[in-house]
Amino acid sequence: MVYLLAILFLGGGLAWFSERFNSQAPRWVALGVISFALLYLAVAVARLPVEQFSPLPSAQLPETWLAHFKLDWIPRFGISFELAMDGLSLILVALTLLLGLIALSASWSEIEERTGFFQANLLWSLTGVVGVFVALDLFLFFVFYEVMLVPMYLLIAIWGHEDRAYAAMKFFIFTQLSGLLMLVSILALAYQHAVVSGSYSFSYFDLLGTPLEGALAFWVMLGFFLAFTVKLPGFPFHTWLPDAHTQAPTAGSVLLAGILLKTGAYGLLRFAVPLFPEAAAEFAPVAMALGAAGILYGAVLAFAQTDFKRLVAYSSVSHMGFVLLGIYAWNSLALQGAIMQMVAHGLSTAALFMTAGALQQRMHTRDMSRMGGLWLNAPRMGACTLLFTMASLGLPGLANFVAEFLVLLGLFQAAPLMAVIAALGLVTGAVYSLIMLQRSFQGPGDASRELPDYGGRELLTMLVMVALLIWLGIHPQPLLELTQPTVDSLLLEASG
C-alpha cells in the first residue's frame, strides 16, 4: 500500500517533469504509471494472505483485513502512518485506478496546454483518493481527505470551461469547510479516548467502542456525517456538484463522479456509523429521509435540464441517494447494495460524462436542443450512450439493477415507507434518462452534419466499462463474496 501511494505520487512528479522534453510525453508517463500501479495491486493481491505487510503479530489483526502497515509518525499524540486494506477498500482502490485510466483516455486529445501539470494533478488526485481508502489512522485519513481536494481544484480552475473559477471555488469551499467539521469531530473523539484510556490514539481500531455521552456522541457523529454527506453529495448539501461537473474538464468529471463522491460514501460506511453506532441508529430516520429526498429531488432537477453534463450531474445526486439509504438501513442486503451502487455508478456515470465531453469537444456545446439525431452521424457513440443510459435507469442484467434491487430489498426490511418512496426514483430515473437519449441521439437530425464517431481509443475505453457493467450485472457473486466479510465485520462493530 505504501508502494502504491509512492508510485502514484512520484509518477505525478515524473509526468510534470517529462513535459520539458516533449509535450506529448506526460500522457504516456501517466499511462505507464497507472498501468504499473494496477499491475502492482494485482500482484500484491495475488500474494495475499500469504504475505502480511504488517509489523503487528497476525493475532492482533482482524481476519477481515487483507493487509496492514503501521509506522509511528507523531507518537507524542498517538498519530501513526497506519494503512490497511480489506475487501471493501480493495474494490474501491481498484476502481480508482481503473477510472484513472478512463480519465486519462478522456483527456488524451482534449488537454493541449500545460499537459505535464495536468497529468501530475490527475495522478496526485488518485494518490489522495487511494490514501483515503486505505488510511486507518483518523488524522492521516483527514490529511488524505483534504489533500485530494487541491489537485481537483486545480483541474477545474485551470482546465475547466467558461465559469471554471466560480465552480472550482465553490467546490473547494464546500468540501474544505465540511472537512474542518470532521477534523473537530476527530479531535473530540481522540480526546475522549485519551480521557478513558489514559493515552492518545487516532487509530481506527483503538477508537472503536470509545464510550461517549449521548449529546457528545450525537454532535461528534454529526460532524462526520456532514463532512461525508457534502462529499457524497446528499440533499441538501449537493449544490456544489452540478457547477463543478459542468465546468470541469472531462477527466475531472470522470474522477469526481467515479471516485471522489465515493470517498463520502466510504467515510459514512467505515467511520460515521461504526464509531457511533447508537447515535447513528437514532439519526438513521433523518439520514434515510435525506436519501429518499435526494433521489426524487435529483431526478426532478435532472428532468428540467437542457445541458447534457448538468443533467448527468443531477442524476448523480439521485443515484447516490440509494447509497445513503443503503448505509443507514444498516443490514447485510442494503450494505451490499450500497457497495455495488458505488461501483456501478462509478462506471456508468463516468461513461456518460465521457460522452458529454466527447460531444462538447466535437460540437462545442452541451445544449441538447442543438443536438438531435446524432445517431445518424455517430452510431458507435449512440450505441454506447444507449447502453450506459439503460444502466443508469437500472435495466436488469446490468450492475446498477443489482445494486438498486439489493438496496431496496434491505431498505424494505428496515423502513418500508422509505423503500416505496425510493422506488419512485426508478420511475423518474427512467424518464430523464430516456429524454436525454431522445434529445441528443434520436429525433430529427441533420444528416449533413459532420460529427466524428468514436475512434479506437474511445471505443476501447467504453467497451471496458460495458464489459464490467454486464459482468457485474449477470454475475455479481465474486464482488459480493469479497465484500461480505467486511459487511459482517461492520455489522458486528456497530452492534458493540
User: Which of 224, 235, 259 is CA-nearest to residue 152?
Assistant: 259
Residues whose CB is less than 8 angstroms from the CB of residue 322 and which lie 6 or more positions away in sequence, other chains included: 291, 295, 337, 338, 341, 403, 404, 407, 422, 425
Sign of the alpha-carbon dihedral angle for 26, 27, 33, 36: negative
Instruction: Please check whether residue 111 is in contact with residue 251, taking contact to mean a CB–CB distance below 8 angstroms.
Output: yes
Q: How far is CA 58 from CA 49, 66, 68, 78, 295, in A?
A: 11, 11, 10, 21, 43
3-state secondary structure of 393: coil
Instruction: Please check whether residue 160 is in contact with residue 168, taking contact to mean a CB–CB distance below 8 angstroms.
Output: yes
What is the reported pLDDT for 379?
87
CA angle 16, 38, 260 (to 5 degrees): 70
Q: Which residues pair with 69 in a beta bridge?
A: 83
Query: What CA–CA distance (Å, rounded) separates 276 from 208?
Result: 8
What is the reported pLDDT for 49?
54
What is the reported pLDDT for 76?
87
Supply the DSSP string of 314-341, one letter for each residue. HHHHHHHHHHHHHHHH-SHHHHHHHHHH
What is the reported pLDDT for 411?
93
What is the reported pLDDT for 50?
40
Instruction: Please check whether residue 127 is in contact with residue 9, taking contact to mean a CB–CB distance below 8 angstroms.
Output: yes
Q: At what angle do helices 456-474 and 332-363 cross, to 10 degrees?
A: 160
What is the reported pLDDT for 56?
40
Q: pLDDT tens-digit profile of 57-67?
A: 343 455 668 88
CA angle 327, 293, 439 (to 5 degrees): 110
pLDDT tens-digit profile, the chain (496 residues): 788 999 999 999 999 998 888 878 899 999 999 999 999 998 888 776 543 434 343 434 556 688 888 888 888 888 999 998 888 999 999 999 999 999 999 888 888 888 889 999 999 999 999 999 999 999 999 999 998 999 999 999 999 888 889 999 999 899 888 889 999 999 999 999 888 888 888 999 889 888 888 788 899 999 999 999 998 888 888 889 888 888 889 898 999 888 998 999 999 999 999 999 889 999 999 999 999 999 999 988 988 888 888 999 999 889 999 999 999 998 999 999 999 999 999 999 999 999 998 888 888 888 888 888 888 888 899 899 999 999 988 889 999 999 999 999 999 998 899 999 998 888 888 888 888 888 888 877 666 677 888 888 899 999 999 999 999 999 999 999 888 888 988 888 777 5
